[in-house]
């Protein structure tokens, strides 16, 4: 059996070959995403940059997360919120994720169920039994 994997990119131009794309600025990427979007794509947003934001930037970031979530729901994509951690010390607890999702207006129970289904479906397409 082959091992399942996700192909990840941070370039909107590579949407056709990626399972998941990391977006650093949703508002700038939105027009390109609309043109090249494929259903079932995972769109990842990182929490890591928010650690260095002031109050005004953080407020805009939260608004952008909500806008991105609405976009993902309407386009058949999976909204993914990730810590963006590069080191174990940068990891974020599950309760913190739940609070951030709640603050944005996302039902975290539904979000985690949807994430689980999306990941299972996406990985199942990648595994080839021999």
Q: Reply yes or no on domain 8-126 having CATH 3.40.50.300.
A: no
- Mean of the pLDDT values across residues 57-78? 92
What stretch of H or E contains 116? helix 108-126
pLDDT in tens, 7-58: 888 887 766 778 898 888 888 888 888 888 888 899 999 988 888 899 999 9
Confidence of residue 129 (pLDDT cuts 50, 70, 90): low
**Contact predicate 52/10, CB 8 Å:** no
pTM (2 decimals)?
0.83
Please state the φ and ψ torsions of residue 69, each to the nearest 5 degrees. Answer: -60, -45
- Which one has a higher pLDDT value, 109 or 18? 109
């Amino acid at each position: 059996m082959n091992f399942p994997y996700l192909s990840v990119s941070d370039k909107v131009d590579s949407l056709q070959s990626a399972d998941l794309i990391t977006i650093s600025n949703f508002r700038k990427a939105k027009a390109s995403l609309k043109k090249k979007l494929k259903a079932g794509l995972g769109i990842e947003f990182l929490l890591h940059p928010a650690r260095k934001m002031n109050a005004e930037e953080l407020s805009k970031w939260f608004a952008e997360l909500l806008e991105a979530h609405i976009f993902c729901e309407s386009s058949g994509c999976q909204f993914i919120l990730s810590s963006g951690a590069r080191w174990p010390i940068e990891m974020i607890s599950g309760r913190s994720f739940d609070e951030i999702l709640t603050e944005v207006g996302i039902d975290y129970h539904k979000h985690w169920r949807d994430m689980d289904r999306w990941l299972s479906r996406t990985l199942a397409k990648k595994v080839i039994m021999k």
